[in-house]
Structure 1
Amino acid sequence: MKIRTLGRHVREGAKNLGRNGWMTFASVSAVSITLLILGVFLILALNVNHIAQTVEKQVEIRVFLDVLADKTIATQVQDQIEANPKVDTVTFISKEEGLEQLKKRFGQNAKLLEGLEDDNPLPDTLVVKAKVPSETASIAKEVKGLEHVEDVSYGEGTVEKLFTATAAIRNVGIIFIVGLAFTAMFLIANTIRLTIMARRREIEIMKLVGATNWFIRWPFFVEGLLMGSIGALIPIVILTGGYYYLVDKVNTSMTVVFFSLLPMNPLSYQVALILISIGAFIGIWGSMISVRRFLRV
């Protein structure tokens, strides 16, 4: 195709947006509203997944060594655990450090622990974190069988329920987003098809005077692309501004410091790319499908 011909198609497609003002407005509005709803749930799903991952990463295994185990034995056990390919990190906490941490947890009641420094009853501890949090239970079972390990604690029972819950949340989120995306595609495509159907006489006349199918298709291709892209830009602006405000409020609020939302960058760019891709694709798809049926003259 010649550059001049392509330029003509682009100009015609852009002009058609203005010539069919109300129908264009209806199509762009349908795209904007539908993608705004999709964008809200997409951001929600991504943040729920982020919070679930944050909670999972806090799961750890505490390995309590024999009270009589010395530094050498502790190092040997640590080396054995680190050799496990499922293990991410192993941190040694001496009985002295453990006592200091216990005092901090007691707060004002720390005086109840005074005098234990000389006769510390706490064992040396190894804090183990798994590369994949869901493998925490299996690692704990393997570690518990090692020599000089007195006990292992990882919240047995509760941790398994946590992983089951987070997996369910992820699966429900994925199913919901996919379902909403397909619903959005059909709603937007049908609205754009109504816009094209209102101009079926124009297509039929062009076909009768000898215009080729692709000569007729190209302006509608450009028009659908522009409608979908413009319709996607509106929710992108709204969502970006709204999310910036939300992140700012959450980060400055002392009541929700136990979790954090995903940062603006790269979330805003990811959501914008997804929405504008969906908008452009549906705009083109809806236009091309609708034009095709009127080319059979």
Structure 2
Amino acid sequence: MIRTFFKHLWQSIKNLRRNGWMTVAAVSSVTITLVLVGVFLAVILNTTKLASDLENNVRISTFLKLGVHDDSKELVDANDQSKKVTNPDYHKIEKAIKAVPNVAKVTYSSKENELEKLTKSLGSTWNMFKGDSNPLYDVYIVEADKPANVTKVSKDIGKIVGVERADYGGANTKKIFGLSKVIRTWGLGAAGLLLFVAIFLISNTIRMTILSRQREIQIMRLVGAKNGYIRWPFFLEGAWVGILGAILPSLIIGFVYRIGYVGLQKSLAQQDLYLLNPNTFVPQLILLMVVVGVVIGSIGSIISMRRFLKV
């Protein structure tokens, strides 16, 4: 049986060489289709990932009222500027925030830190507001345990004494939540549709190559060859076509994706957004394209031969 398999394998390779232009046509069809499939899947899966990151990165900015020093252990004595007294309300608001249901993480940022962030992103003009001219608030950055709980947590925090307001983006954040759901649903659906179109196109191309060899199949049947014996070389040919057709798309997608990742990730990282890591994503995508090519090529060959093997 093993000898028969290798015989069919060698025969399939000879057939690929013998049917040169039809093989080139089939491989070209697979190549073009898999390039489109690879690019589309890379875009859809990364868009879905970014939408999910956006949804999970929604944070509640809790602004403290002016004159509230929740992060200071000591305060300047109102009666004697040279002395300091213990702050009786030290971390009172932070503890109240942590006590709110569904709060996962609380991080403090002073108004000086907030001004520094603005200066880095908007330019040195904001340096004029350093010191007593700083118009910003001290803020607690709050993360909810789930995106769905952001609105409720924001309302509960806004009721705490000493909090000026709790802001999470309101309507814009709800749009982000809605957008992420749309992308996940329709994006993956579109990817599935593209794979279906790929199967249809590649199968039709392979069917054309087999139609051009129907005389060869008829002669084999006339000399008494069994259906399985006739089918195996064509089955392996289809697999070879899928493998050969996946080589160029794999190289193109791998090269382009790594360049795009390096170019985009730096700016995205500043917003806590991350593309799929090429070290894991590219091999998985290449494997998927090879498997799709082999499966479609093999099955396409078998389906296309059925009409010639009927008694």
* Superposition TM-score tier, normalisation by shorter sequence: 0.7 to 0.9
SS at match of 2:99: helix
Aligned to 1:7: 6
The code of the aligned residue for 2:93 comes to A
Larger mean Cα displacement after TM superposition, 142-151 or 235-244 = 142-151
Identity %, equivalent residues: 37
Distance 2:9 2:117 in 1: 69
Distance 1:255 1:53 in 2: 14
Shift of the 126–109 alpha-carbon distance from structure 1 to 2, 3 Å rule, reads: closer
The code of the aligned residue for 2:118 comes to R
Larger mean Cα displacement after TM superposition, 72-81 or 139-148 = 139-148
CA apart distance, 1:272: 0.5
Distance 1:239 1:68 in 2: 54
**Alpha-carbon contact 1:90-1:128 (below 8 Å) kept:** yes
CA apart distance, 1:144: 4.1
Aligned to 1:88: 104
Is 2:14 the counterpart of 1:25?
Answer: no
**Alpha-carbon contact 1:104-1:110 (below 8 Å) kept:** no
The code of the aligned residue for 2:150 comes to T
Task: Give the TM-score taking structure 1 as reference length.
Answer: 0.82
Residue ranges of structure 2 left out of the alignment (5+ in a row): 71-88
Distance 2:183 2:261 in 1: 22
**Alpha-carbon contact 1:250-1:260 (below 8 Å) kept:** no
Residue ranges of structure 1 left out of the alignment (5+ in a row): none
Task: Give the TM-score taking structure 2 as reference length.
Answer: 0.79
Is 2:290 the counterpart of 1:276?
Answer: yes
Q: How does 1:1-297 map to 2 (within 5 A)?
A: 2-64=1-63, 67=68, 70-81=89-100, 84=102, 87-93=103-109, 97-102=110-115, 105=118, 108-112=125-129, 114-115=131-132, 122=137, 125-144=139-158, 151-250=165-264, 261-297=275-311
Shift of the 148–234 alpha-carbon distance from structure 1 to 2, 3 Å rule, reads: same
| RMSD between aligned residues | 3.1
The code of the aligned residue for 2:244 comes to I
Distance 2:126 2:238 in 1: 70
Distance 1:155 1:249 in 2: 28
The code of the aligned residue for 2:215 comes to R
